[in-house]
């Protein structure tokens, strides 16, 4: 959005005393005067706004200082100096922020011919690893522009980077961050880039801080003959969460011709652009008893809300609940009076934002901190060691290699080369936090001290997957080699360290080993006895439990529930061993991997047989898998200790060397997604069966949320992870991303955001808040998919997300427009409507407004009862009625 800074000349002056008071009431504000010379005071109070500006020198280590030419100077001091970056491709500011807090971020650029070349630059602006905007000053009439975005940082450090893209020199005049209330500007996903913000006034003033507490800049909208501007001197209150300035609420516009609409138009950059529109309005005229002002809002002919009646002297902020796409080359927003209205529509101000989806995850935060610590330890000054270390790939730091990444999996550092750069001191302790580091080269430096043990601290299963390389040659290390590094799995280079002892004579005297051997032997005997006692107790307890179940005559179809008392419990040792298979057994059961069932994030899945008869599905880890050991371990840990009729059963697992495999029960009807899309010639599932599958999947989730101790959240609920047996009974699968959580609340997940795009809970994605209702959101998307058979994310439709598509159809009020046409109208409309309403409530963007899985189950049973009633009245139909006799109040408990 281009805003001429010269127009800010007319801001109303405020006395210096008031400014000083207001400067103290800017909590969380960051206002950087970029390029402020060291000999000028910092911080200082800007004379027109009272904002407290500081030098940017503490937040960036590169760049040079410039000042715009005197004849182009602006009386607003922060925009007369600038910082420009002739060296390096990417130069970045590192700013302290609150993770999960919504910020308004503004970057100002005033060229002012500071270099005397009179060549306006073009460059890219990044937030972390993602492109925010391209700053193109070459096509501007003036010398200044700005970019503004509403963004929620995913860590406690925010990086704003300027990147060369056309050979010209990037620069910046001012960088400003303003924390916002999290109850405003709520979106389903993505950040919001400002397109336009304006208010209707005959004044020539812009409004910003201190009149606007968030320092939003409200542009004056030019008068038009089609509009009549009105105003009031009465106080107008802000009745919402947007904290609209008083001066904005006191002014408004109405169509001069009362029968016409109030029109706002803008041109989208792309036909796929999605927008959020915010309208701020208050009735500021005294209406007569027979006068009514009521109007509807339409975007390209689609109604955004029910008819609106503005409140008297109180601002109502109306927002679109879902992002909207414009149908043509121009976006058209209309406020149109209703038939019963006697007065034309009214509007005080509006804001329009374009959705930007930042798809590239940042490098693992712990590893970024580790790299910064290594940089500080060795005082490394490298101009390209700025911004995110791994991404985007074309800006990756020198001498680093990183793992491949997806939207839900952040990149990890796998190789670090610091050879021959004059390092001194000991080997930096922060290296141990690069836990995926396969190759480390510290050769040909001046490092001293002992070789640390952590260089060999490798997770056992990861150790089997890759060969690790440690090059410490050509230094001045001393002492002996730690036992952890004396492994055939580690390639260790140590030559050129004359004081480093590499023989057995460096070990402790033999005489001291004797008591250690005695202690170790005694400990082993004690542990063995303890294990035998534990096995005996568990077998005895299991026998008693079985006897008790027989005495109670428990129904044979009751789901088996096995759980643990705490997160660190394990199954009995003999059970764990029973489920372990050798790699040769895996080869045999799959007939040397002859029959492939498909491919997932973990690797290929093969059909096989255990004991020559029991069918199984075998997932084999691919060497290029982005999941690997962590997900393998998580799935084994979970499925060894929890069992439910609607969770897929883990038959066993195998790991030998670099071979990892998970062995599951085989479900003959594949996954639900195949049946909806018709892949692999799967039959279309009728409506009653779909409701049954939804109920069974919900029961599996409810068990994870309420029957496990501690409770679990799946994190990757989707149609591809709902498997169907030969009777179309549903079972949840793929627990590699599952996490435990505190029951009843959402908590801040310290791990990387994980899940599948489209199914991912927007609050979890933005704020890192994880809980059982994160799964509820994903289940809502699954239910919408089952109802509509629409893609979750469409690259061709203007309604790119399935919730948007359903919302657009709900306006018409015709259930046939929403339901999967493959169902051929063979469903009870009441059942269908209830299912749609349930799915949309589950997919509510607000975590707190979603139902629990227990409530979902009860509502699904009501849907099934409606459908069963229809089936019982149609004797000729072959569709089966669904048994919903389960008592939802009886939740499986841990034992």
Using DSSP's 3-state secondary structure scheme, residue 492 falls into strand
Radius of gyration of the chain (CA): 32
Taking the C-alpha atoms of residue 714 and residue 249, their distance in angstroms, rounded to an integer, is 46
Locate 24 and state its tokens: 């103290």
Locate 169 and state its tokens: 């020199």
Locate 735 and state its tokens: 């627990």
Classify residue 727 as exposed, middle or buried by CB count within 10 Å of its CB (0-12, 13-18, 19+). Answer: exposed
Taking the C-alpha atoms of residue 5 and residue 70, their distance in angstroms, rounded to an integer, is 15
Alpha helix ranges (H) inside 207-337:
246-249
- Residues 514, 490: contact at Cβ < 8 Å? no
- Residues 806, 820: contact at Cβ < 8 Å? no
- Nearest residue to 403 (alpha-carbon basis) of 367, 373, 430: 367
Helix or strand holding residue 403 (H, E) = none
Using DSSP's 3-state secondary structure scheme, residue 222 falls into coil
Taking the C-alpha atoms of residue 559 and residue 699, their distance in angstroms, rounded to an integer, is 11
The residue from 56, 716, 775, 820 that is catalytic is 716
Locate 264 and state its tokens: 């706002």
- Residues 152, 181: contact at Cβ < 8 Å? no
Classify residue 351 as exposed, middle or buried by CB count within 10 Å of its CB (0-12, 13-18, 19+). Answer: buried
Residues in CB range of 716: below 8 A, 6 or more apart: 734, 736, 737, 754, 755, 756, 759, 778
Residue 685: DSSP 8-state: P
Q: Which residues pair with 354 in a beta bridge?
A: 193, 275
The annotated binding site for ATP is made up of: 619
Residues in CB range of 477: below 8 A, 6 or more apart: 447, 448, 449, 450, 451, 494, 497, 499, 500
CB atoms under 10 Å from CB of 329, counted, come to 8
Give the Å distances, CA to CA, from 451 to 36, 205, 480, 711, 875: 46, 67, 7, 42, 80
* Torsion angle, alpha carbons of 596, 599, 603, 605, to 10: -30
Taking the C-alpha atoms of residue 31 and residue 381, their distance in angstroms, rounded to an integer, is 27
- Residues 687, 630: contact at Cβ < 8 Å? no
Alpha helix ranges (H) inside 459-562:
460-465, 513-552
Orientation of helix 687-702 relative to helix 772-788, angle to 10° = 170
CB atoms under 10 Å from CB of 747, counted, come to 13
Residues comprising the chain, all counted? 895
- Residues 717, 764: contact at Cβ < 8 Å? no
Q: Which residue has the tokens 């940082």?
A: 153
- Does residue 212 carry a catalytic annotation? no
Residue 705: DSSP 8-state: I
Locate 603 and state its tokens: 């690797």
- Residues 714, 741: contact at Cβ < 8 Å? no
Taking the C-alpha atoms of residue 774 and residue 698, their distance in angstroms, rounded to an integer, is 13
- Nearest residue to 390 (alpha-carbon basis) of 410, 419, 369: 410
Using DSSP's 3-state secondary structure scheme, residue 20 falls into helix
CB atoms under 10 Å from CB of 458, counted, come to 20
Using DSSP's 3-state secondary structure scheme, residue 345 falls into coil
Residues carrying an active site annotation: 716
């Amino acid at each position: 959005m281009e805003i001429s800074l010269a127009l800010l000349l007319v801001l109303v002056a405020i006395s210096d005393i008031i400014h000083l008071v207001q400067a103290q009431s800017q909590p969380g504000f960051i206002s950087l005067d970029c390029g402020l010379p060291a000999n000028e005071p910092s911080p200082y109070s800007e004379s027109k706004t009272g904002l407290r500006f500081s030098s940017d020198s503490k937040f960036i280590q590169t760049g040079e200082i410039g000042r715009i030419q005197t004849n182009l100077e602006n009386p607003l001091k922060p925009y007369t100096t600038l910082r420009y970056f002739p060296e390096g491709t990417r130069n970045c500011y590192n700013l302290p922020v609150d993770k999960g807090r919504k910020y308004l971020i503004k970057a100002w650029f005033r060229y002012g011919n500071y270099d005397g070349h009179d060549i306006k630059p073009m460059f890219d602006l990044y937030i972390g690893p993602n492109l925010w905007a391209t700053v193109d000053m070459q096509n501007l009439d003036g010398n200044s522009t700005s970019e503004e975005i509403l963004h929620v940082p995913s860590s406690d450090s925010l990086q704003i980077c300027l990147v060369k893209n056309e050979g010209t020199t990037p620069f910046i005049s001012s960088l400003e961050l303003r924390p916002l209330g999290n109850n405003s500007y709520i979106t389903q996903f993505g950040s919001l880039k400002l397109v336009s913000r304006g208010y209707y006034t005959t004044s020539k003033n812009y409004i910003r801080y201190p009149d606007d507490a968030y320092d939003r800049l409200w542009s004056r909208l030019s008068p038009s003959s089609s509009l009549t501007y009105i105003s009031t001197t009465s106080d107008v209150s802000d009745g919402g969460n947007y904290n609209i300035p008083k001066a904005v609420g006191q002014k408004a516009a109405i169509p001069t011709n009362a029968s016409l609409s109030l029109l706002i138009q803008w041109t989208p950059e792309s036909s796929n652009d999605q927008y959020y529109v915010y309208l701020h309005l208050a009735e500021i005229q005294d209406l007569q008893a027979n006068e009514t002002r009521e109007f509807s809002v339409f975007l390209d002919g689609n109604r955004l809300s029910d008819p609106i009646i503005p409140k008297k002297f109180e601002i109502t902020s109306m927002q679109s609940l879902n992002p909207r796409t414009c149908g043509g080359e121009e976006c058209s927003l209309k406020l149109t009076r209703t038939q019963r209205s006697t007065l034309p529509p009214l509007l005080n101000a509006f804001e329009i934002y374009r959705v930007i989806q930042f798809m590239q995850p940042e490098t693992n935060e712990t590893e970024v901190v580790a790299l910064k610590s290594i940089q500080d330890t060795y005082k490394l000054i490298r101009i390209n060691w700025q911004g995110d270390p791994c991404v985007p790939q074309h800006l990756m730091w020198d001498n680093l290699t990183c793992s491949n990444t997806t939207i839900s999996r952040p990149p990890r550092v796998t190789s670090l080369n610091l050879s021959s750069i004059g390092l001194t001191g000991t080997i930096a302790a922060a290296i141990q936090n690069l836990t995926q580091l396969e190759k480390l080269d510290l050769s040909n430096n001046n490092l001293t001290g002992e070789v640390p043990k952590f260089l060999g601290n490798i997770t056992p299963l990861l150790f089997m997957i890759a060969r690790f390389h440690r090059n410490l040659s050509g230094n001045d290390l001393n002492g002996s080699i730690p036992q952890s590094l004396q492994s055939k799995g580690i390639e260790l280079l140590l030559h050129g360290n004359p004081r480093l002892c590499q023989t057995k004579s460096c070990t402790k005297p033999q005489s001291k080993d004797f008591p250690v051997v005695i202690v170790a032997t005694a400990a082993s005997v004690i542990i063995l006895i303890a294990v035998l006692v534990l096995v005996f107790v568990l077998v005895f307890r299991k026998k008693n439990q079985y006897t008790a179940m027989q005495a109670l005559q428990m129904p044979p179809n009751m789901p088996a529930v096995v759980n643990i008392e705490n997160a660190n419990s394990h199954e009995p040792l003999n059970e764990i061993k029973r489920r372990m298979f050798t790699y040769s057994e895996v080869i045999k059961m799959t007939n040397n991997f002859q029959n492939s069932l498909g491919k997932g994030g973990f690797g290929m899945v093969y059909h096989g047989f255990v004991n020559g008869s029991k069918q199984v599905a075998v997932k084999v880890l691919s060497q290029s898998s982005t999941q690997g050991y962590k997900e393998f371990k998580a799935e084994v840990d979970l499925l060894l200790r929890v069992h439910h009729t609607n969770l897929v059963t883990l038959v066993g697992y195998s790991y030998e060397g670099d071979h990892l495999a998970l062995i599951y029960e085989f479900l003959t009807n594949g996954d639900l997604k195949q049946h909806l899309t018709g892949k692999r010639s799967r039959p279309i599932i009728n409506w009653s069966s779909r409701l049954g599958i939804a109920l069974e999947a919900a029961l599996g989730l409810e068990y994870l949320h309420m029957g496990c101790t501690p409770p679990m959240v799946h994190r990757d609920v989707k149609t591809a992870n709902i498997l169907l047996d030969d009777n179309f009974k549903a079972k949840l699968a793929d627990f590699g991303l599952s996490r435990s959580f505190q029951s009843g609340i959402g908590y801040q997940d310290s791990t990387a955001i994980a899940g599948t795009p489209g199914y991912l809970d927007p609050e979890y994605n933005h704020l890192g808040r994880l809980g059982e209702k994160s799964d509820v959101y994903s289940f809502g998307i699954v239910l919408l998919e089952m109802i509509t058979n629409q893609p979750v994310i469409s690259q061709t439709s203007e309604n790119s997300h399935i919730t948007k598509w359903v919302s657009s159809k709900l306006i018409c009020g015709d259930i046939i427009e929403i339901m999967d046409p493959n169902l051929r109208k063979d469903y009870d409309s009441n059942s269908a409507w209830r299912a749609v309403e349930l799915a949309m409530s589950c997919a509510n963007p607000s975590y707190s407004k979603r139902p629990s899985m227990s409530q979902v189950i009860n509502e699904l049973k009501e849907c099934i009862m409606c459908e069963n009633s229809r089936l019982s009245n149609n004797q000729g139909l072959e569709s089966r009625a669904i048994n919903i006799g389960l008592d939802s109040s009886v939740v499986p408990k841990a034992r």
